[in-house]
Amino acid sequence: MLPIVLAIWGVIFFKVFLGNRGGEIDTNQLPASFQHDLKDTLVTNSYELDLSYDDPFLGITSTPKVTKNSSPESSGNTLEETLILPNIIYSGYVKNEESVSAYLNIDGEIIIAEENKEYADVKVLKILPDSVLVYFKNKQEWIKI
């Protein structure tokens, strides 16, 4: 039994350590299926999504809605101005006997803000422990802590 075990371990040792000492693989020995050009293997995949499947919860089959893109010239509508709020970070609040103040960072400027006062075109309307209601260019926005 010992000679069989030694023979098996000898074969494993030879294959792992002495079999191929980092030499190049001879491409002539490869099967013909591996010798083809790599450019032939690159295939672009094209597919379409089939969105007309049954709803797993309601059991309703829906058909996808096709929307028609229209250009702004044909519809006659003008693009509305996109409102971008300044970068506002609400860090916390302090409640005194007379007033409530909030620590705000508006575009990198640290401000101790009070209710109904304006700072850098931003008016602070309401200060709560977890959020602040601000008003900027006809738009109200809640800023959370």
Kindly tell me if the per-residue pLDDT of 22 is higher than 50: yes
- CA 83 – CA 93 distance, rounded (Å): 27
Calculate mean pLDDT across residues 19-42. 57
- Give the residue extent of every domain in the chain: 88-144
Structure-token match 């693009």, residue found: 79
Q: At 38, list the tokens.
A: 């790599």
Q: Which residue has the higher pLDDT, 30 or 12?
A: 12
Calculate mean pLDDT across residues 22-35. 58
Instruction: Read off φ and ψ for residue 39, nearest 5 degrees.
Output: -65, -30
At 38 the pLDDT is 47
111 burial type by CB count under 10 A (0-12 exposed, 13-18 middle, 19+ buried):
middle
Q: pLDDT, tens digit, for every residue of 37-94?
A: 544 555 566 777 777 777 778 777 666 555 555 444 545 555 556 777 888 889 988 9
H-type alpha helices, 53-130: 72-75
Pairing of strands 100-106, 109-114: antiparallel
At 9 the pLDDT is 92
Select from 87, 121, 92, 126 the least CA-distant residue to 106.
87
Fold that domain 88-144 belongs to in CATH:
SH3 type barrels. (2.30.30)
SS3 145: coil
Q: Which residue has the higher pLDDT, 31 or 117?
A: 117
At 44 the pLDDT is 62
pTM of the model: 0.44
The pLDDT-based confidence of 5 (bands split at 50, 70, 90) is: very high
